[in-house]
């Protein structure tokens, strides 16, 4: 083994420039593959960040005005969802894991002393933040069942609202603020990154308090729900729509009387898009790497041609075809693996440098953030390098194994 390595090292030293230029093809192929994969991951992270705290399996159902006549009733009829509809969905659709209603009073002025914020005011039950379970609370707590039962004048506010009303790091918990001139005590501060962070502009009050203070007569603007594990979200969405439409005497074909949105649909499209992008990246990267393989294979063919006499003499002295093949395969694999490993290190290093620079500069938004290379991708690249080295040297090595001592003696 040591003699073989010494022989390979001697051959490389004899052809430094040729080996360097050949190895550069493999280096560049792996380097570009890693850079493209890291950039693709950065794009995916940026786009998925746009979903923010929105979990990817929730379904929203809301009502509007009918657009299809049904059971003798004309179009333009206003449909109102209420708590009874939520209770019916909970009781009759077994695939629902979590469900909560939400209602709103539009935008209103929120004040604390001389500080103000114009924010959306929403009424919610205590289960609301269980449905949106990925929303973290920076301070305090969520709305709880006692808030609902006792019709407490409490509120949880988004971080954007808290920063306007309580600048300079003032603790907002326990402070009394005015929401449309009604005094409410702040009990929690949440940070919802969904809707590109605009959800943190909202303030929430208990549903019972909202209906007593701001009216609405039990109206529910929208139903938020999550399926149980293993339940098809699209099938569940269809079941819920059918039930609510049936309860409200809305035509099954009416898209406006009762409508829905399934977060899994855009997530599915985005994941499909990035699957296509990753396939394209691998195609381009492997194409570049193939050029390096061809280069190494050509150089190995030239090496075999140059060493024909040497190979013939070795065979005349008793060298087996296996020893000749293994020596040449080892040479091509070592050159390929070393060049590819350097390309891998440089590629990962550049990706990490870009990520570090973005963090230092505070550039962590938009549609590109936190570029990275997965460990599995790096391992795949290393396995690919070994395979590439074997493929590149296989044909020349087999050709060398077929050289006879007589043929070698006639070689120039």
| pLDDT, greater one: 306 or 216 | 216
Cα separation, 52 vs 134, whole angstroms: 9
On whether both 93 and 235 belong to a single domain, the answer is yes
pLDDT > 90: what percent of the chain? Answer: 33
Q: Is 233 helix (H, G, I), strand (E, B) or coil?
A: helix
Residues 248, 294 within the same domain: no
Residue 102, pLDDT score: 93
Residue 250 in contact with residue 66, Cβ under 8 Å? yes
- 39 shares a domain with 74: no
pLDDT of residue 5: 58
Quote the CA–CA distance of 370 and 215 in Å, as a whole number. 45
227 and 342 share a domain? no
Domain boundary (201, 234, 262) is at 262
Boundary (domain end) residue, out of 213, 239, 262: 262
On the question of pLDDT at 4 being above 60, the answer is no
The predicted pLDDT at position 236 comes to 92
pLDDT at res. 48: 67
Question: Does the pLDDT at position 15 exceed 70?
Answer: no
d(CA 49, CA 13): 51
Same domain, 382 and 302: yes
For the segment 359-403, what is each residue's pLDDT rounded down to a tens digit? Answer: 777 665 566 777 777 777 777 777 776 777 677 777 777 776 676
Has residue 237 got a pLDDT over 60?
A: yes
Domain boundary among 245, 262, 279: 262
- Cα separation, 260 vs 357, in Å, equals 42
Check whether residue 187 and residue 45 sit in a common domain: no
CA distances from 311 to 320, 394, 406 (A): 10, 16, 11
Identify the pLDDT of residue 206: 95
pLDDT at res. 363: 64
Longest dimension (CA), the chain: 104
Q: Are residues 105 and 244 in the same domain?
A: yes
Same domain membership, residue 82 and residue 36: no
E-assigned strand segments in 199-239: 203-206, 219-220, 222-227
The percentage of residues in the chain with a pLDDT greater than 70, rounded to a whole number, is: 84
User: According to the model, what pLDDT value does residue 364 have?
Assistant: 59
Same domain, 185 and 64: yes
227/4 Cα distance (integer angstroms): 62
pLDDT tens-digit readout, 22-60: 778 778 888 888 888 888 888 877 776 665 545 567 899
Give residue-wise pLDDT tens across range 272-297. 888 888 888 888 877 777 777 777 77
Task: DSSP for 271-328, please give it.
Answer: HHHHHHHHHHHHHHHHHHHHHHHHHHHHHHHHHHHHTHHHHHHHHHTT--HHHHHHHH
Range of the domain at 63: 59-262
User: What is residue 163's predicted lDDT score, i.e. its pLDDT?
Assistant: 92
Task: Give the model's pLDDT for residue 14.
Answer: 65
**Same domain assignment for residues 169 and 134:** yes
pLDDT digits (tens, 9 = 90+) for 130-164: 888 767 787 899 999 999 999 999 999 999 999 99
| One domain, residues 248 and 296 | no
Both 71 and 196 in a single domain?
A: yes
Please give the Cα distance from 391 to 26 (Å, whole number).
13
Mean pLDDT estimate for the chain: 82
Higher pLDDT, 211 or 315: 211
Structural domain count of the chain: 2
């Amino acid at each position: 083994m040591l003699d073989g390595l010494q022989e390979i090292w001697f051959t490389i030293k004899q052809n430094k420039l040729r080996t360097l230029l050949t190895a550069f093809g493999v280096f560049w192929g792996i380097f570009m593959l890693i850079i493209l994969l890291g950039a693709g991951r950065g794009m995916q992270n940026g786009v998925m960040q746009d979903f923010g705290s929105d979990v990817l399996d929730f379904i929203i159902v809301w009502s509007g005005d009918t657009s299809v006549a049904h059971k003798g009733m004309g179009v333009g009829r206003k449909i109102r969802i209420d708590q009874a509809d939520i209770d019916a969905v909970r009781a009759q659709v077994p695939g629902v894991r979590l469900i909560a209603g939400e209602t709103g009073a539009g935008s209103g002025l929120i004040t604390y002393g001389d500080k103000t914020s114009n924010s959306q005011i929403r009424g919610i039950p205590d289960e609301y933040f269980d449905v949106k379970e990925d929303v973290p609370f920076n301070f305090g707590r969520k709305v709880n069942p006692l808030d609902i039962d006792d019709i407490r004048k409490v509120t949880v506010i988004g971080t954007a609202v808290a920063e306007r009303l309580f600048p300079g790091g003032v603790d907002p918990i326990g402070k009394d603020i005015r929401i449309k001139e009604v005094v409410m005590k702040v009990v929690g501060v949440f940070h919802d990154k969904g809707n590109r962070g605009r959800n943190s502009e909202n303030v929430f009050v208990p549903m019972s308090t909202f209906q007593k203070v701001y009216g609405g007569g039990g109206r529910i603007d929208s139903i938020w729900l999550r399926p149980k594990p293993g339940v098809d979200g699209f099938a569940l969405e269809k079941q819920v729509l059918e039930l609510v439409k049936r309860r409200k005497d809305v035509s099954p074909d009416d898209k406006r009387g009762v409508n829905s949105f399934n977060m899994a649909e855009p997530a599915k499209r985005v994941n499909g898009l990035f699957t296509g992008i990753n396939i394209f990246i691998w195609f381009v990267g492997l194409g570049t790497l193939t050029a390096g393989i061809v280069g190494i294979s050509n150089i190995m063919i030239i090496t075999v041609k140059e060493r024909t006499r040497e190979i013939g003499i070795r065979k005349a002295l008793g060298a087996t075809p296996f020893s000749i093949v293994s020596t040449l395969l080892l040479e091509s694999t070592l050159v390929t693996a070393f060049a590819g490993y350097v390309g891998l290190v440089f590629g990962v290093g550049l990706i990490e440098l870009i990520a570090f620079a973005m963090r230092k500069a505070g550039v962590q938004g938009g549609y590109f953030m936190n570029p990275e290379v997965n460990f599995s991708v790096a391992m795949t690249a290393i396995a690919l390098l070994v395979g590439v080295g074997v493929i590149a040297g296989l044909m020349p090595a087999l050709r060398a194994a077929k050289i006879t001592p007589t043929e070698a003696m006639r070689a120039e």
